[in-house]
Amino acid sequence: NQASEPTVQSPVPEYSCQRSTPLKHHNSRFCEAMELLQDYAEMREGDDNYMRALAWRRASCVLKSLKFPLTNIDQLKGAKDVGKHVEKVLQSILDHGTSDEVEKVRNDPWYKKMKIFTKVFGAGTKTAQEWIEKGWTTVDEVRQNYTKGDWRLRFGLAFHEELMELVTRLEADNFTKFIKHQCETILPGISVELCGGFKRGKTHGHDIDLLFTHQSTGKEVGFLPRLLSVLESKNLILCGKWNRGTYTEEAMYSDSKRTKNNQLDHFEKWIGIIKFPKKWRKSISEEEFFSDENVSADLNSYEDSEPAKKKLKTNELSPEDIAAQSRSWIARRVDLIIAPYDQYFYALVGWTGSKQFNRDIRTYAKRTHNYAMTSHGLYDLTKRKSLPAKSEKEIFDILGVPYFPPEERNC
């Protein structure tokens, strides 16, 4: 009967960016297991674990792109990224429904705590580890005992429960609509695009990623501070940080493309938490939406400061106090990113993701063309020149990768 079972097309394209990866696929139980092992490796230190994490992810991505449910390990013959260790885990799931290795990690007390703590906004693996070493086991315990931490952590802890509640597509659409409406007054012609997981067709997400650009390059300069002033005047900002853009083409040809504060790209952006009116969580009429319409903000008052810090100083209220207040809003994580138009389509690909899709398309660009790909552009390292693109499709064409729409980039 093996002959009648489907097998992968042979050979499977090596990079996930060369394959269609839909959101809903046929192998979620296998992928869930492998991504748990990825997760576990990512939490542990060292280059070996980093490589291990990537290996689990790549294997998971192969399974995600299969057009059929795996029923026999031989169906994977001809697939890259499926080594002996992966096969062992998959075989065990095929035979018993579970894998001992996976279940051992799932029940590992350290893993469980890391899982809880790294979900806190502002907490990476280092902070999570530090909390575990203090002997804390729940976010509540951290909240009662931890007094250090930057504004991210303080708000992340105080608003943890509601930030854990996933943002719905409807909420994301409502927020986008609201921002677009504000933009009409602030800077006509600015374009606003909902990116991230929602762009890839997810119905829920952990935040709202909005990418802005203006077709006449230069017009976008100064826009974000003005938008933030408007949001501030409407009392919609809980906390956040505005970062100036730090892009130089020069840096794209060097090995260290990361910014000083270890950000993934050099765009001007705001990362923060919005006070999301509860009425925006359901379908609402345009009228109701724009009823409290008075953009009276001083459009130039937003300074290069951390509004959260400013707030913490001028406000008597601590994040915990604010969280405890009776209020008509809930906290929602929002990223606002500004891209100059000549970098826009690269920014769009980068901020659409997935994270793994970006990794693979960048590795592919480097290995096959000696191009450095970032969210700012594509840079030919041999000829030392950049390769501009006027659409997403053009980027794929330059690279010689088949074009897949965002819904098929769920690697």
Please count the CA atoms within 13 angstroms of the CA of 163 that sit on its side-chain side.
25
State in angstroms the smallest separation of the CB of 409 from ligand TTP.
9
Residue closer to Mn ion, measured from CB, 61 or 123: 123
351 binds, among Mn ion, ligand TTP, none (CB under 5 to 8 A by kind): ligand TTP
Comparing every residue's Cβ against ligand TTP, the nearest one is 353
Q: How many CB atoms lie within 10 A of CB 37?
A: 24
213 binds, among Mn ion, ligand TTP, none (CB under 5 to 8 A by kind): none
Residue closer to ligand TTP, measured from CB, 197 or 319: 197
The strand ranges marked E within 244-305 are 268-277
264 binds, among ligand TTP, Mn ion, none (CB under 5 to 8 A by kind): ligand TTP
User: Residue 314 gets which letter from DSSP?
Assistant: H
408 binds, among Mn ion, ligand TTP, none (CB under 5 to 8 A by kind): none
Residue closer to ligand TTP, measured from CB, 297 or 373: 373
Nearest to 174 by CA among 149, 200, 124, 208: 208
Q: How many CB atoms lie within 10 A of CB 302?
A: 23
Distance CA 320, CA 97 (A): 44
Sites of contact with Mn ion (CB under 5 A) = 118, 123, 196, 205, 207, 209, 335
State in angstroms the smallest separation of the CB of 362 from Mn ion.
18
Sites of contact with ligand TTP (CB under 6 A) = 196-197, 202, 205-207, 209, 264, 350-355, 358
Contact 66, 16 (CB under 8 A): no
209 is in an annotated binding site: yes
State in angstroms the smallest separation of the CB of 362 from ligand TTP.
9
47 is in an annotated binding site: no
118 binds, among ligand TTP, Mn ion, none (CB under 5 to 8 A by kind): Mn ion
Angle at Cα 354 formed by Cα 157 and Cα 127, nearest 5°?
25
- Rg (the chain; Cα; Å): 23
Angle at Cα 266 formed by Cα 245 and Cα 118, nearest 5°?
115
State in angstroms the smallest separation of the CB of 199 from ligand TTP.
8
Comparing every residue's Cβ against Mn ion, the nearest one is 196
Distance CA 333, CA 314 (A): 23
Helix (H, G, I), strand (E, B) or coil at 114: helix
3-state DSSP percent of the chain in helix, strand and coil, to 5? 50, 15, 40
State in angstroms the smallest separation of the CB of 10 from Mn ion.
35
Residue closer to ligand TTP, measured from CB, 161 or 321: 161
Distance CA 186, CA 297 (A): 11
202 binds, among Mn ion, ligand TTP, none (CB under 5 to 8 A by kind): ligand TTP
265 is in an annotated binding site: no
Residue closer to ligand TTP, measured from CB, 214 or 362: 362
240 binds, among ligand TTP, Mn ion, none (CB under 5 to 8 A by kind): none
State in angstroms the smallest separation of the CB of 195 from ligand TTP.
6
Residue closer to ligand TTP, measured from CB, 93 or 378: 378
Residue closer to ligand TTP, measured from CB, 89 or 330: 330
State in angstroms the smallest separation of the CB of 274 from ligand TTP.
14
Torsion of CA 29, 31, 33, 37, to 10 degrees: 180
Scored b (16 or more CB within 10 A) or e, 146-164 reads beebebbbbbbbbbbeebe
Q: Which residues are known binding-site members?
A: 207, 209, 335
Q: Which residues are known binding-site members for Mg(2+)?
A: 207, 209, 335
